[in-house]
Copies of this chain bind each other. A is one copy, B any other.
Amino acid sequence: MLRLDSADAGFAAAFETLVNARREADADVSRDVSAILARVRAEGDAALADYTRRFDGHDLETTGWSVSATECRAALDGLSRDLRDALELAATRIVAYHEKQRPVDSDSVDGAGVRLGARWNAVDAAGLYVPGGRAAYPSSLLMNVIPAKVAGVQRIAMVTPTPGGEINPLVLAAAQIAGIEEVWRVGGAQAIAGLAYGTQRIRPVDVIVGPGNAWVAEAKRQLYGVVGIDMVAGPSEIVVVADGRNDPDWIAADLLSQAEHDPTSQSILFTDDARFADAVADAVERQLAELSTRETATTSWNANGAIILVPTLDVAMPLVDALAPEHLELAVDDPDTLFAAVRHAGSVFMGRMTPEAVGDYVAGPNHVLPTGRRARFSSGLSVLDFMKRTSFLQLDNGALHAIGPAAVALATAEGLPAHAASVARRLVNHHGKED
């Protein structure tokens, strides 16, 4: 864990190093992924079956290519009442938040008589990747699918690796709650290729979302343009801005909730209270000792954690903007004043009673957020990621006479005579001349 003090001479350089540190694994998977994509494109299901035998250790002809609705229903029925209620509360709240993201169409006529508008439609089909093993989170499934459902996407195809044929019942239960009717037992880059290109069994989709390992992420990156994708995702991160009036144990838990995700995760605390900084550092060590995820969390905290002392919290805000964190907690009495200074953050958790984890599950906003400083230019997953806008235009004779001559002038200047003619012929004829 790194300790910095913004009053120290070397602070600017040390902070810049922190901002630019690349935590993403530089696995050279690009060539492997290209080969997998090309083979799935050429061979379809045969390639999927072969890769699944090799990487997941089961035969799709034996285990079945897809998971039935009966299995999903059984998984949901097998949940404890508490867990089922929790998933349903989460789903209900996520739906409510995302319904407000539905865009509004427009259609109006301006002063020149030009009718102008835009109409939004959902994509026809979305693909959802759900990782197998440790990172198979039902909460992520809900966060990825619900915006698509709210957008009005008619078909959602889920893919997930089932190593040895095994699948996490919590994930199936969440799929059932989310209303997913198509679940394929394939994973990795090959599953992404299957969704993008289509195979004999799997019809192609238009957008692919969902977290995955380096191979899955690279496959999505390479297929961006063939399909839409949610984002290029990297390791998770949290920045906490806290004064000395917080419970150090609460803040330590918040930092560790990020650290336990992955060894590459990052947790950073800004505070204006040196004694509080020490108290949080101590609390982190105490809590780490008791945590079942301590191996991951300790690696992450030691390698990527930081506590940064600032003279006043408003001094921290430009530094936070430079980090453009995925998650930002403002643990103070008046978070709005600090929030007003934030331009770049995925999601902000305001006040002392808003631990980031509550947003991971049940608050409503999406937990699929830009990482690795990408909040400078991108947003969390939303209904808009599953929709697209068609602009439209309608002119009558008067409107074309009002603005058409300018189009003719510009087309001519750009050396595009057919562009000019397509407007000019309509202008001429309506003046009563024939061309």
Binding site for B on A (CB under 8 A): 82-83, 85-87, 89-90, 93, 96-97, 100-101, 106, 110, 114-116, 118, 121, 123-124, 134, 137-139, 170, 206-207, 221, 224-225, 227-228, 231-232, 247, 249-250, 253-254, 256-257, 259-261, 287, 291-293, 297, 335, 339, 342-351, 353-366, 370, 374-380, 382, 384, 388-397, 399-400, 403-407, 409-411, 413-423, 425-426, 429, 435
Given contacts A116-B365, A389-B379, A429-B247, contact A409 B357 (CB under 8 A): no
| Contact in complex: B357, A392 (CB < 8 Å) | no
A260 surroundings in chain B (CB, below 8 A):
416-419
Residue of B nearest to A359 (CB): B393
Q: Which of B123, B293, B426 contacts A377 (CB 8 A)?
A: B123
Closest CB-CB distance, A113 to chain B, in whole Å? 10
Q: Within the assembled complex, what's the spacing in Å between the Cα atoms of A367 and B55?
A: 45
Closest CB-CB distance, A27 to chain B, in whole Å? 15
| Contact in complex: B392, A349 (CB < 8 Å) | yes
Q: Which of B348, B358, B389 contacts A423 (CB 8 A)?
A: B358
A405 surroundings in chain B (CB, below 8 A):
86
A389 surroundings in chain B (CB, below 8 A):
379-380, 382
A90 surroundings in chain B (CB, below 8 A):
406, 410
| Contact in complex: B106, A100 (CB < 8 Å) | yes
Closest CB-CB distance, A429 to chain B, in whole Å? 7
Q: Which of B361, B393, B400 contacts A365 (CB 8 A)?
A: B393
A118, A396, A417 — most chain B CB neighbours (10 Å): A417
A89, A356, A377 — most chain B CB neighbours (10 Å): A377
| Contact in complex: B360, A425 (CB < 8 Å) | no
Please provide the 10 A-B residue pairs with the shortest distance between their CB atoms, ordered closest to farther. Answer: A225-B232, A228-B377, A86-B406, A256-B418, A350-B394, A365-B391, A253-B422, A355-B422, A357-B419, A379-B389
| Contact in complex: B351, A394 (CB < 8 Å) | yes
Closest CB-CB distance, A88 to chain B, in whole Å? 9
Q: Which of B93, B259, B345, B363 contacts A390 (CB 8 A)?
A: B345
Q: Within the assembled complex, what's the spacing in Å between the Cα atoms of A377 and B87?
A: 29
Q: Which of B139, B257, B423 contacts A357 (CB 8 A)?
A: B423
A359 surroundings in chain B (CB, below 8 A):
393
Q: Within the assembled complex, what's the spacing in Å between the Cα atoms of A409 and B287?
A: 19
Q: Within the assembled complex, what's the spacing in Å between the Cα atoms of A121 and B344?
A: 8
Closest CB-CB distance, A234 to chain B, in whole Å? 8
A375 surroundings in chain B (CB, below 8 A):
388, 390
| Contact in complex: B414, A138 (CB < 8 Å) | yes
Q: Which of B116, B355, B388, B410 contacts A138 (CB 8 A)?
A: B410
| Contact in complex: A388, B397 (CB < 8 Å) | no
A422 surroundings in chain B (CB, below 8 A):
250, 253-254, 256-257, 355-357
Closest CB-CB distance, A137 to chain B, in whole Å? 5
Given contacts A139-B410, A403-B89, A425-B249, contact A380 B391 (CB under 8 A): yes
Can you list 14 A-B contacts with CB-CB less than 8 angstroms, sorted by A residue number?
Answer: A93-B403, A96-B110, A97-B116, A101-B118, A121-B344, A228-B377, A247-B425, A357-B423, A358-B400, A358-B423, A360-B407, A362-B403, A362-B404, A364-B393
| Contact in complex: A410, B362 (CB < 8 Å) | yes
Closest CB-CB distance, A254 to chain B, in whole Å? 5
Residue of B nearest to A414 (CB): B137
| Contact in complex: A404, B343 (CB < 8 Å) | no
A388 surroundings in chain B (CB, below 8 A):
344, 370, 375-379
| Contact in complex: B415, A293 (CB < 8 Å) | yes
| Contact in complex: B362, A407 (CB < 8 Å) | yes
| Contact in complex: A116, B225 (CB < 8 Å) | no
Given contacts A260-B419, A425-B247, contact A350 B206 (CB under 8 A): no
Residue of B nearest to A100 (CB): B106
Q: Within the assembled complex, what's the spacing in Å between the Cα atoms of A253 and B380?
A: 44
| Contact in complex: B349, A409 (CB < 8 Å) | no
Q: Within the assembled complex, what's the spacing in Å between the Cα atoms of A421 and B249?
A: 10
Closest CB-CB distance, A400 to chain B, in whole Å? 5
Residue of B nearest to A409 (CB): B86
Q: Which of B335, B374, B409 contacts A394 (CB 8 A)?
A: B335
